Amino acid sequence: NAGVMQNPRHLVRRRGQEARLRCSPMKGHSHVYWYRQLPEEGLKFMVYLQKENIIDESGMPKERFSAEFPKEGPSILRIQQVVRGDSAAYFCASSRSGTNYGYTFGSGTRLTVV
Amino acid sequence: SQQGEEDPQALSIQEGENATMNCSYKTSINNLQWYRQNSGRGLVHLILIRSNEREKHSGRLRVTLDTSKKSSSLLITASRAADTASYFCATNFGNEKLTFGTGTRLTIIP
């Protein structure tokens, strides 16, 4: 059981480029969550998805950020026209059925915008 | 904000001692969870305690929950160097997503 797989582990983008972060949930998990973490801070919720549906995107910035979890393939967090302030660690987590079982986290993608 | 807050922000103890971290939150919860994060890594789920439970154990971990005070504590007994990490509490308010606190940085001194 491979757990939650995130790639890439590290991503460097120039200002104005697009960043695409991928997350494959744990086998059997149908709930996916994306969080952002700045250095020395806690995790900030971004979006909660189930297959082909966005359930809660209350933590997503209104512009430039989007997320999807298609019927086939990984969940994607997409950041268009990146700015320096987007530099952070982005973590994906999955769970079986909501939060009654706890989350399994991936190792994260560290995005650096130069 | 519904975010939990851990206390203290940082804690250093000698190996073998017990470490206690506290978490406070603001609204009613379905459950509260504790996670560990080693530097540069993802979070690892440690323990989940439901709102109708008062205490839970897992190995050297003991979690208590006081819903009247809206607080929880995590006790790590007989600490080891490998316990050095950041510890986060996370709360579920019934809307599926978890809200994380700011964390306690625990350092175990060999």
- Tell me the per-residue pLDDT of A42-67, one tens digit each, with 9 for 90 and over: 899 999 999 889 999 999 999 999 99
- Tell me the per-residue pLDDT of B71-106, one tens digit each, with 9 for 90 and over: 999 999 999 999 999 999 999 877 678 899 889 999
Which of B84, B61, B58 lies closest to B73 in space, CA to CA? B61
Nearest CA in chain B to A103: B45
What per-residue confidence (pLDDT) applies to B93? 79
Hey, are the CB atoms on A48 and B96 less than 8 Å from each other?
yes
Looking at per-residue pLDDT, the higher value among B5 and A91 belongs to: A91
What per-residue confidence (pLDDT) applies to A1? 54
For B40-78, b/e burial (b = at least 16 CB within 10 A) is ebbbebbbbbeeeeeebeeeebbbbbeeeebbbbbebee
CA distance A45 to chain B (A): 7
Residues on chain B touching A106 (C-beta within 8 angstroms):
42
The arithmetic mean of pLDDT across residues A102-109, rounded, is 93
